[in-house]
């Protein structure tokens, strides 16, 4: 599996936000193929599939394009869909996660039954957006994928 990890700050300390690419999509190439000014955000489950999500700073509103674009690629076909700002805010932007104070990683579960463990095996999380199940250890966090920032949950 490939990763698109980012360094983020939580309580003044640096952590690595572990962001796996769930789809085998070349996100840089895909962003260039989207009309407008697209930037890859995250792979996320919504509309009952895994999507590579892009923000589009200049959607072509005359053609009905949305500010967020999802690309889903399966072994037999590729699909593209638009997400309104409201759909993005509700279904994609924020995600529960867990921060490990030992290995300094923040992990999240992207979809139901996506069991994730940090690199030192101290913290786990599962359930995607359907439910959140995690270890008692670690700091519960909320990840904002649009701004790539993290805050304590609660």
For the chain, the three-class secondary structure string (H helix, E strand, C coil) is CCECCEEEEECCEEEEECCECCCCCCHHHHHHHCCCCEEEEEEEEECCEEEEEEEECCCCHHHCCCCEEEEEECCCCEEEEEECHHHHHHHHHEEEEEEECCCCEEECCCCCCCCEECCCCCCEEECCCCCCEECCCCEEEEEECCCCEEEECC
Task: Say if residue 123's pLDDT is above 70.
Answer: yes
What is the per-residue pLDDT across 60-114, written as a single tens digit (0 to 9) for each?
A: 999 999 999 999 877 777 889 999 999 999 989 999 999 999 999 999 998 888 9
């Amino acid at each position: 599996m490939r990763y698109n990890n980012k360094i983020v700050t939580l309580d003044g300390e640096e952590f690595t936000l572990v962001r796996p690419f769930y789809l085998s999509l070349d996100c840089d190439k895909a962003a260039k193929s989207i009309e407008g000014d697209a930037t890859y955000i995250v792979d996320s489950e919504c509309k009952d599939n895994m999507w590579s999500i892009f923000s589009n700073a200049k959607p072509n509103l005359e053609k009905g394009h949305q500010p967020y674009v999802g690309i889903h690629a399966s072994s037999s076909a590729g699909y593209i869909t638009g997400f309104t700002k409201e759909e993005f805010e509700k279904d994609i932007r924020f995600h529960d996660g867990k921060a490990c104070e030992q290995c300094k990683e923040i992990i999240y579960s992207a979809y139901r039954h996506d069991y994730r463990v940090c690199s030192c095996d101290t913290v786990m999380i599962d359930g995607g957006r359907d439910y959140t199940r995690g270890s008692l250890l670690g700091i519960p966090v909320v990840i904002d994928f649009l701004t790539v920032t993290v805050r304590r949950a609660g």
